[in-house]
A and B are shown apart, each in its own frame.
Chain A
């Protein structure tokens, strides 16, 4: 058991860096350990980024995609990218429908600006984000025929969730209809994406008195009341028009949604957001959520006061100092109840490139300067094209990332990385990469002991604690050709190129490395 004052050991530091960024570079792990940072200090350091509000501009969406990947490979603030990826999945918007790369780039910029800020402000910004307004049909939500798409997803996916932790519904169809009314009249300027509000297309009570909700006790016709039977507001519910009708209604809606309570009185939005961030950073959580996980969710919300401040940064910090976060760092051997989490394809790609000190080249972000496969095609084969999530539900996480097709794509990427021997600025150069093993400076070319070599490689890729002895033995057998060559001569170019690159490929293809 630990808390924010617990000093990080190497395994915990590695875990924190892996989850909060793209892989645990040995030097970064060493720095945390050498300075004796506590969980809290390390979390503060990671969260204290002033990353720029990156906007992946491009005439074509493919260019935007690849620019963003390149940015992730180079960034000094990987946690910012991890948070932006989380929100990209959370507010999943696809250019397949938006068909406007500039608006998509603007949205990604909005995600950068808000990724660790105030969640309530964030959702209010997303309400008016042009790509979102297009994607979830707010532009098709007219006063005469309301479109319920955004009203539904705002509640189901962005804030409340369909059910609370006790399994009770958080809202009713009638609430979707009422919230859709609030969003009528919103539009955007096509070229700039600037939000526009058309008074003439807004649904005012006076024009549609019949749209009121006669639920339970008689209420005056033509109201804009929501949550008359959920949210802990009582039978009167809450009034979307409380601050007046018109453009201000959509902010009022968010204020109301953020006041919504689970049946046991806890903040619905705080709990759901904390749960999703825990699942993202720590480990998957079963459905329905078990009591032990509810306790963790409630703990990180309480520790961060997220349910009153809506400070995302504080919530993430609370997760990074919680024991539940470090549970998944467990090394082998695993038990049936050890919790593990599968790397997203983008994490697999960016971590590998960063850990192997490589660069991606040209606008196609090739692994090999001589060409090969566009990084977007590689990621597509792995099941994740940024800026084009499969639906408003975002991507399916965990085991859903794994199939024979997506595994082959990962294996192929590993082959491309380790096979990039073509020279030039982005060749794979393990001799320059492995200069220190277990705290001792080494010259890779002079190494001959297979155990040392394996340790150098698994430390570089951050999976030393995650490989079993049997797995390591297979890798040693590979290096030594089943013991026939018990030592290796790495001064021999061919031996090094065959076996060392091969060993990197195998580790990148191992089950252990698919996890993070």
Chain B
């Protein structure tokens, strides 16, 4: 049984993790060992596609193979369709079930497709959960909590992982966001939220710089006192305030360090010119800091998001001016620069990125877009990922759709068996974050119900990592 980092910290006494993990101590083999026993020298990034990404025009059947996916696609998608010709430059593998040729959206041609060809992208088809929900808020919360049946699991799935492995004075997570995202919620360890590292400084009095040290001492004292309070809200605010103060002292410099040391890549993110590239660059800056052993910079788990996927109208097909084209190009190009940046740092194989969206969209299109739907694909990207196509494409024959026009989640062994998103999470927890299976089962409890319709037989070995 691997020692968790939290257990390790407990065994080494009550020292704050921040001071433990200064640059000198990172050279300490004991500490390296403890880190290696949890996630090792690894990083994990969650990328959320906000609004419900249309899966059918993200991973699209090009041919029928031994089935009828392409025929059904042509029937369902009449004006926002992607023709085999338009998909010619972005072909990926075959659907494991029908053998039909698949392609990713032409918007991915410049970014994600080259990474796929390098074998660094796992495309996991048809991810969903039982009893799907079409409310953005509720379905998002289901994916974040990994709790489709409302068992009342506390916090988010990443949060439960963090709580099991880190302590109160650690800062293992960073969200590039103005608030802590649902999947990171928990009450045990600190997750910092920031939009731009450069703006993350603590706001001291402009006019009396000579008072800064005294004010810092007092503020830290107030936070420590609040931390000592028995009242949980006071304690939470004290902990958050202290994490904010300490990280505000170590994180802003990561911006200038990166900009100076990695100017060429800095420019490449600028060249993409999209917000996701900017956000991923902030993650790269932090990772670059952790890699160099900057004191008090120990974040390993990140979250970024990209919005605009709620394409009820004017979704667009292969036209580069279309909404979904533009979004896919943004994601692909941003991930490509991020990957290249990490590869140049020599750590591409230490970073794993997973993408998700709260739901996919209706199989039959409406006038010019698509309404809320059920299952969709996830991508897992990274140097340590075994690229390829995983999971079956959902059955999109009109007769196989439910009364709403959505694909049907099933765990039965029929040829269209669905992939539960919790199997993807579990595979990442087990094979990337090195969490013991017993703990994963607590973190992601299986459903109770008919094994045909519910997730009663978890599979944390999907094989992509």
Contact assessment for A481 and B214 in the assembled complex, using a CB-CB cutoff below 8 Å: yes
**A509: B residues at CB distance < 8 A:** 219, 222, 241
| Cα A512 to Cα B237 with chains together (Å) | 9
State whether B222 touches A383 (Cβ < 8 A). no
Q: C-beta contact mask, A486-500 vs B, less than 8 Å → 1, else 0?
A: 000000000001110
| A405 B225 Cβ-Cβ under 8 A | no
* B230 (CB) vs chain A CBs: closest residue: A336
* Number of B interface residues in the complex (CB < 8 A): 50
CA distance A509 to B205 in the complex (A): 13
Counting CB contacts under 8 A, is A184 at the interface?
no
Q: Across the interface, which residues of B come within 8 angstroms of A419, CB to CB?
A: 205-207
Residue-wise interface mask of B (232-258) relative to A, using a CB-CB cutoff of 8 A (1 in contact, 0 not): 111011101101100110000000000
Asked whether B260 is an interface residue with its Cβ less than 8 Å from the other chain, the reply is: no
Q: Mark B187-206, 1 if CB is under 8 A from A, else 0.
A: 00011111100001011111
Which residues 384-418 in A have Cβ within 8 Å of B in the complex? 391-393, 396, 398-400, 402-408, 411-412, 414-415, 418
Given the complex, which residues of A lie within 8 Å of B200, measured CB to CB? 408
B217 and A477 contacting across the interface, CB-CB below 8 Å: yes
Could you tell me if B205 and A505 are in contact, using CB atoms closer than 8 angstroms?
Answer: yes
Question: A511 contacts the other chain (Cβ, under 8 Å)?
Answer: yes
A501 within 8 A of B: yes
Secondary structure at the B interface, as helix, strand, loop or mixed, is helix
B97 proximity list for chain A (CB < 8 A): none
In the complex, are the beta carbons of B208 and A497 less than 8 A apart? yes
B232 touches A336 (CB 8 A): yes
User: Which of A57-65, A71-79, A467-475 makes up part of the contact surface?
Assistant: A467-475
Establish whether residues A334 and B241, one from each chain, have CB atoms under 8 Å apart when the complex forms: no
Smallest beta-carbon distance A512→chain B, Å: 7
Interface residues on A, range: 35 or more
Of all chain A residues, the one with the shortest Cβ separation from B140 is A391
Known contacts A405-B195, A408-B244; is A415 also within 8 Å of B237 by CB?
no
Q: Which residues of chain B come closer than 8 Å to A414, judged between CB atoms?
A: 203
CB atoms of A408 and B202 under 8 A apart? yes
- Which of B136, B222, B247 meets A474, CB within 8 Å? B222
Are A474 and B214 in contact, with the CB atoms below 8 A? no
Query: Is there an interface contact between A475 and B207, defined as CB atoms closer than 8 Å?
Result: no
Which residues of chain B are within 8 angstroms of A408 by Cβ–Cβ distance?
Answer: 200, 202-203, 244, 248
Give chain B interface residues in 154-203, CB to chain A under 8 Å.
Answer: 175, 177-180, 190-195, 200, 202-203
A132 within 8 A of B: no
How many pairs, one residue from A and one from B, have CB atoms within 8 Å of each other in the complex? Answer: 151
**CB pair B204 A415 closer than 8 Å:** yes
User: A511, B178: Cβ atoms under 8 Å?
Assistant: no
Cβ B205 vs Cβ A418 within 8 A:
yes
* A334 in contact with B231 (CB, 8 Å): yes
Whether B231 and A338, one on each chain, are in contact in the complex, defined by CB atoms closer than 8 angstroms, is yes
Task: Using A411-B202, A505-B215, A511-B238 as known contacts, say yes or no to A497 and B207 having CB atoms under 8 A apart.
Answer: yes
Residues of A contacting B223 in the complex (Cβ-Cβ under 8 angstroms): 511
- Least distance between B458 CB and chain A CB atoms (Å): 27
Determine if A192 is an interface residue (Cβ-Cβ < 8 Å): no
Q: Is the CB of A511 within 8 A of B230?
A: no
CB of A33 within 8 Å of the partner chain: no
With beta carbons under 8 angstroms apart, the residue of A340, A481, A498 that contacts B208 is A498
Q: From B220, which residue of chain A is reached at the shortest CB distance?
A: A474
Query: Judging by beta carbons under 8 Å apart, are B234 and A502 in contact?
Result: no
CB-defined contacts of A54 to chain B, threshold 8 Å = none
Q: Is A510 an interface residue (CB 8 A)?
A: yes
**Contact flag A403-B202 (CB < 8 Å), given A470-B225, A502-B211, A509-B219:** no
**Contact (Cβ within 8 A) A398 B233:** yes
Chain B residues near A498: list those with CB within 8 A.
205, 208, 210-211
| Contact status A340-B225, CB under 8 Å | no
A498 → chain B closest CB, angstroms:
5
Whether a CB of chain B sits under 8 angstroms from the CB of A381 is: yes
What are 23 sample pairs from A and B whose C-beta atoms fall under 8 A apart? A334-B231, A336-B231, A402-B237, A403-B180, A404-B247, A404-B248, A405-B177, A407-B237, A407-B241, A411-B244, A412-B203, A415-B204, A470-B221, A471-B221, A478-B214, A482-B214, A497-B207, A498-B205, A498-B208, A499-B211, A511-B237, A511-B238, A514-B237
